[in-house]
Chain A
Amino acid sequence: MGLTTNSTGISAVDFGLVIKKNSDEDKVIALAGNPNVGKSTVFNELTGLNQHTGNWAGKTVTNAQGLCNYNDTNYIMVDIPGTYSLMAHSAEEEVARDFICFGNPDAIIIVCDATCLERNLNLVLQTIEITDNVIVCVNLMDEAEKKGIKIDLVALSEKLGVPVVGTSARSGIGLDEMMRATVKLLETIDGKKPYSIKYIQPIEDAIAVLEPVIKEKIGACRIHSRWIALKLIDYDIALIGSLSNYLGFDLSKDTGLQKSLKEARGIISQNNITDENLKDKIVSCIVLTAEDVCLNIVKFENKGYNNRDRKIDKILTDKWTGFPIMIALLGFIFWLTITGANYPSELISNGLFWIEDKLVELCIWGDVPKFIYEMLIFGVYRVVAWVVSVMLPPMAIFFPLFTLLEDLGYLPRVAFNLDKTFKKCSACGKQALTMCMGFGCNAAGIVGCRIIDSPRERLIAIITNNFVPCNGRFPTLIAIITMFFVGANSPIQSIVSTVLLTGIILLGVFVTFGVSALLSRTILKGELSAFTLELPPYRKPRIGKIIIRSIFDRTLFVLGRAIAVAAPAGLVIWVLANIYIGDFTLLMQCSNFLDPFARSIGMDGVILLAFILGFPANEIVIPIIIMTYMASGSITKLDTLFELRELLVGNGWTFITAISTMLFSLMHWPCSTTCLTISKETQSFKWTAISFLVPTVMGIIVCFVFASVARLFV
């Protein structure tokens, strides 16, 4: 999935799925496949920047739609959730199957992993059971070649009866061929019939009884009557309901059908196959068929092809080195973010404040009324400038680094190492992955919680996701650390900053464990869910491409947000700071009102107000604090963080204030986008409210305790 413009911020929110066709000539192509096969890469390569998060009525599982223009025809690519099968054991599988059955795609491209073809064929075989118009895309052919895995694509195509194309989507190889095959498939009327899975005799006999009856009832239909027969025999009630809706008549009420169905089920039970057994036998047949198909088609020339990965894994998951490496890696990424951001930050800041001066001069020269230019420049422009110079560089650096790590395949190993701890908190190891996504953007982290099947565990992950500071909060933490805890330009400045930041993040992680444990012993009690975690092979990420794309992505995103959120916020603050009620401005009234409470938890009214006003976007909290302090004093220059420190100290900041602010930044309510995402994902006001309150209450308690204890010593 990854952290991209399209998966974070407001784009992360899933509003449901409605295919947007530009004209009736447009073809809808579904992209299906196992998780981790490079489906997103294929999708991105084909659709480029023509994507937007799609809409699927009712269900809330990620779907993206993108437009691909090939040979003058528009193809709408619909990216379906990655699944291992279409038996609908989970919400994701149900969405995938429902789209393939009822979404009426013109064609389905199933993306497979060439290094693991047998397992992937499970999905392929199940899909061709449902409908024709399937194309198999064997991706990661470059990886397969490196590992000495040879696949006879032509023979595979012969055997399956569908077009098979080999691709290396990362390098763009084979995609053209794939689109050509798609075009050809769509144009062919009576093509080859795809392979049919042969089940054990009793099941085949049962199908033979039922299928003709169904065929007669439904006539010509995209969905194979043989498959419908199988599902009826298998008591798939939810599917029967949806099928009835789709076909236009109630399958369960049709007498002729029910009679044949009874006969068919009779055959099954006569052969001593129970309902449970039946499911087993069906799955076994599919698995064994996949094995059989691959037998002569896939050749492994290098038996030890996994060895390098195994060696790396041994080190990364060892009892003694596993955790230290995890923490060190985290620290290293923070260090790179902090040091890398310094120079650009300074450059941008200097540039933007130079522009500010010139703008003021221009306005004075142009006789623009003082209150207008002050509002626009000191209000709007300044906040935007702060966001861009202080917040943008760390965000633009962290995201690509993180994406690299994700593409490498390291993150599942983190979940692997931490599962035991999460289990102790009655949560799921995959929560580690969602926390990692939360580092980039909490909204994306919430959407990422879909990888957790159990609703109970998913809720725990959602409620605690905010304890991981997102990209918008990082710079706030880094700024405060730099101002109050690090000596001026000392050589070890960035190392100390890194250590402190890592410490705070670890605190957030421990709080996550604690709150998860608390939740699972109180309002979210329940059983542990079915857990399987795939550890994908390590893949060398396309470093250059990722870095450029990500930096570009992030910069656009932050700039967009700065204009959409920070600018209006700046305006609002300026207005509040200049409208007087009695002796005080509205701003002062608000901060004075909040002051007593805020002081009890170690901060002051202005800071708390800034957090509240920072609800739309966390990155504007510091700019709001600055503006508020400056509005009630003389307007001074603020070119460096050290001048900012002077401003803060001058307004009463102490070490206690600094630490309390950092703690509250770590633990407070989710931003508006995240709240919106939570409400869409949980479809429940209650859980959204709880997700809002839990971090807030934790923050208040922790800050209160810290401030009280610290004051005893100072």
Chain B
Amino acid sequence: MNKSVCPLTYLKIGETAKVNKLSLTGSMRRRVQDIGLIEGTEIECVLKSPGGNPVAYQIRGAIVALRNEDSLNIMVTV
């Protein structure tokens, strides 16, 4: 079975994935790494805000909200 790679934004609430590649740059890249999101990290989509953006994810035990513009640059395998 082929594991597909897709942007983080594709995750539905309750779905878990593993980070495949961080295509973010600059301070956003550093920031997500500081909270523990690196290649291979498990991430679960937990909550969507009323407007659909930002979306909250569970990362290493904490719930962190990320904007879709940034999540588009985080590739994951479901």
- Kindly report which residue of chain B lies nearest to residue A534, judged by CB atoms: B64
Q: Which residues on B sit within 8 Å (CB–CB) of A306?
A: 58, 63
Cα of A572 to Cα of B70 in the assembled complex, Å: 56
* CB of A696 within 8 Å of the partner chain: no
Decide: A532 near B63, CB < 8 A? Known: A283-B38, A310-B46, A322-B49.
no
Query: Please, which residue of chain A has its CB at the minimum distance from the CB of B70?
Result: A531
* A122 interface contact, C-beta 8 A: yes
A529 to B26 Cα, complex, angstroms: 10
- Say if the beta carbon of B12 comes within 8 Å of chain A: no
Q: Are A533 and B30 in contact (CB under 8 A)?
A: no
The answer, yes or no, to whether A314 is at the interface (CB within 8 Å) is yes
Q: Which residues of B contact A528 (CB under 8 A)?
A: 69
Cβ-closest chain A residue relative to B53: A420
Chain B residues with CB below 8 A from A118, complex form: 36, 60-61
Which single member of B31, B47, B49, B56 contacts A530 (CB below 8 Å)?
B31
Q: Is A84 an interface residue (CB 8 A)?
A: yes
With beta carbons under 8 angstroms apart, the residue of A287, A314, A420, A534 that contacts B38 is A287
A432 CB, nearest partner CB in chain B, Å: 12
> Considering only CB atoms, which chain A residue lies closest to B39 in the complex?
A284
B24-78: which residues lie under 8 A (CB-CB) from chain A? 26-28, 30-36, 38-39, 41, 46-54, 56, 58-67, 69-70
How far apart are the CA atoms of A180 and B33 in the complex, in Å? 35
Check if B47 sits within 8 Å of A287, measured CB to CB. no
How near does chain A come to B24, taking the closest CB pair, in angstroms?
9
Hey, which chain A residues are within 8 Å of B47, CB to CB? 310, 313-314, 317, 416, 535
A85 to B48, CA, bound (A): 27
Q: How far is the CA of A284 from the CA of B63 in the complex (A)?
A: 20
- In whole angstroms, how far apart are the Cα atoms of A476 and B34 in the complex? 46
The answer on a CB contact under 8 Å between A534 and B63 is yes
The answer to the question of A711 belonging to the interface, with a C-beta cut-off of 8 Å to chain B, is no
- CA A254 – CA B21 in complex, angstroms? 39
Complex Cα distance, B48 from A51, in Å, reads 40
Q: Name the residue on A nearest B26 (C-beta).
A: A530
A429: interface (CB < 8 Å): yes
The reply to whether the CB of A521 lies closer than 8 angstroms to some CB of chain B is no
B36 touches A119 (CB 8 A): yes
Q: Is the CB of B63 within 8 A of A535?
A: yes
Give the chain A neighbours of B62 by CB distance below 8 A: 116, 119, 534
A531 to B61 Cα, complex, angstroms: 19
Pick from A116, A283, A318, A529: contact of B50, CB below 8 A.
A318
Bound form: Cα–Cα A419–B66 in Å: 10
Q: Provide the residues of chain A in CB contact with B49, threshold 8 Å.
A: 317, 322, 416-417, 419-420
What's the Cα separation between A28 and B39 when bound, in Å?
39
Q: What A residues does B51 contact at CB under 8 A?
A: 420-421
Residues of B close to A117: CB separation below 8 A: 61
Nearest-Cβ distance from residue A38 to partner chain B, whole angstroms: 14
Chain A 564-580 residues near chain B, CB threshold 8 A: none
Interface SS majority for chain B: mixed
Structural contact, B66 and A119, CB atoms closer than 8 A = no
Contact B54 A429 (CB under 8 A): yes
Q: How far is the CA of A429 from the CA of B69 in the complex (A)?
A: 14
Measured between beta carbons, the chain A residues less than 8 angstroms from B59 are 119
Shortest Cβ distance from A310 into B: residue: B46
Contact A416 B54 (CB under 8 A): yes
A535 to B49, CA, bound (A): 12
Residues of B within 8 A of A303 (CB): none
Contact in complex: B50, A322 (CB < 8 Å): yes
Q: Does A87 contact B (CB under 8 A)?
A: yes
Chain A residue with Cβ nearest B46: A310
Bound: A453/B28 CA distance, A: 11
Interchain CB contact (< 8 A) of A122 among B36, B54, B56? B36
Name the A residues within 8 Å of B61 (CB-CB).
115-119
- For A416, give its contact among B28, B58, B60, B65 (CB under 8 Å): B65
Contacts A317-B47, A419-B54, A423-B67 given; indicate if A532 touches B31 (C-beta within 8 A): yes
| Interface presence of A280 (CB below 8 A) | yes
Q: A122-B36, A279-B30, A416-B56 are in contact. Are A535 and B50 (CB under 8 A)?
A: no
Q: Chain B residue with minimal CB distance to A90?
A: B27
Contacts of A533 in B (CB 8 A): 54, 64-65
* In the complex, residue of chain A having the shortest beta-carbon distance to the beta carbon of B55: A416
A323 at the interface (CB under 8 A from B): yes
Residue of B27, B67, B70 with highest tally of chain A CB at under 10 A = B67
- Is A308 an interface position by the 8 A CB rule? no
Cα distance A421–B54 in the bound complex, in angstroms: 11
A319 on the B face (CB < 8 A): yes
User: Which chain B positions have C-beta within 8 A of A313?
Assistant: 46-47, 56
Which residues of A have CB within 8 Å of B35? Answer: 84, 119, 532, 534
What are 19 residue pairs bridging A and B, where the CB atoms are less than 8 Å apart in the complex?
Answer: A84-B34, A84-B35, A87-B30, A89-B34, A115-B61, A119-B36, A122-B36, A283-B38, A319-B50, A322-B50, A420-B50, A420-B53, A530-B26, A530-B30, A531-B66, A532-B32, A532-B35, A534-B64, A536-B63
Chain A residues with a Cβ under 8 A of chain B: 84-85, 87, 89-90, 115-119, 122, 279-280, 283-284, 287-288, 290-291, 306, 310, 313-314, 317-319, 322-323, 416-417, 419-421, 423, 429, 453, 528-537
3 closest Cβ contacts across the A-B interface?
A: A420-B51, A530-B28, A533-B65
Interface set of B (CB-CB < 8 Å, partner A): 26-28, 30-36, 38-39, 41, 46-54, 56, 58-67, 69-70
Q: A283-B38, A419-B54, A530-B26 are in contact. List 6 more A-B contacts (CB 8 A).
A: A84-B35, A119-B62, A283-B33, A306-B63, A317-B47, A535-B64
